[in-house]
Amino acid sequence: MNFNYSQEIDSSVYETHGLDGDIPLRIHKDQHLEFKGALRAQRDWTKHVHNVDGYKGGLGDPFSFISVTVPECLPDRLELISYANEFAFLYDDKMESFDLKKDLKKEATKMLDAFGDGALDRRVNAKSGPEKRLQAQMLSEMLALDPERAVTSMKAWAKFVQLASRTRSSAFETLDEYVPSRVIDAGELIWFGTLTFGMALTIPDNEYEICMEMARPGYAALGLTNDLFSWEKERHDAMEAGQDYVFNAIWVIMKEKSVTEAEAKIICCSEIEKYVSTFRQTVEETKHNSCLSKDLRTYLEAVLYSISGNLRHTGRLWLLFLVNMLVMGPFIPTVIV
């Protein structure tokens, strides 16, 4: 991959928790464009859905989400994919405010309406919900910039919404059963659409399946990393809702292996390291493989840098959550071992 729009960050200024596999952290040189897109999404959400005062989403200091997870995004697309990403964060934040058992199905239906069979339809009417209105606006802007990749991305996002709506419906008995669903829920297809549109990549139809297969360990690492850092919050939310299971690798490991929370976290860390190592080896082995298209090889490398950026951004949010919970109580989280 050629680095035209990003710069590497000195590893001494951030914490890796030993989970980065020595993947360098890069940040986009035009981070202000991410702020522009994310803040526009927040304004639109406030106008059409509800107020977002006190909400930060993907924005951060010094590492904002898109700038470190898609460091080689084309500058003219950075604002737009930041808008789309913030839309996803805002929706996720909205979902967390609902009763996990009573309201989840109703709210998921709204997203299915926006990203279902009519995902490529930009028309809205008086009956269209706010999610559909914002989705149609995103689609129009994407089509104006790059019609072919806009359609590819929107189809991937629509498929994600349809698949993800079913991933959390029941508990998992083993980590082997859980990881494939976690890969879906972590946004494998969302990120496929984001990277291909943001970096103007085209994965040939005859390479799509092998592309997804080769990238899967990378998405497993992303999903398990998010589980590790969000465990306290997700357990707290499940307890508040009276839910008898948590959609999180820590819960699955504790149940499967009959281990303590601290031991489950250690096992989860080992799994993350294993997936990162496997994926990094795949990227190295394919980097100069001329049998694969250049865009496929670039896509895999882009996922690698997404792992590094996600770790820094997710870790920052986890620390903020710990501070809030320790101040507010009464639930005291366990520090990662």
pLDDT digits (tens, 9 = 90+) for 151-196: 999 999 888 878 877 787 788 999 999 999 999 988 899 999 999 9
Query: Is 112 a member of any domain?
Result: yes
Query: Is 309 a member of any domain?
Result: yes
Q: How confident is the model at residue 125 (pLDDT cuts 50, 70, 90)?
A: confident
Mean per-residue pLDDT, 289-297: 97
Query: Is 226 a member of any domain?
Result: yes
Query: Is 194 a member of any domain?
Result: yes
Q: How many CB atoms lie within 10 A of CB 205?
A: 7
Question: For residue 68, what pLDDT is reported?
Answer: 95
Q: For residues 86 and 127, which has the higher predicted lDDT (pLDDT)?
A: 86
CATH code of the domain containing 255: 1.10.600.10
Query: Is 46 a member of any domain?
Result: yes
Query: Is 270 a member of any domain?
Result: yes
Q: Is the pTM higher than 0.85? A: yes
Domain extent, residue 98, equals 6-328
User: For 32, phi and psi rounded to 5 degrees?
Assistant: -60, -25
* 288-323 as b/e: b if 16+ CB within 10 A: eeeebbebbbbbbbbbbbbbbbbbbbbbbbbeebbe
Total tally of structural domains belonging to the chain:
1
Query: Is 128 a member of any domain?
Result: yes
Query: Is 235 a member of any domain?
Result: yes
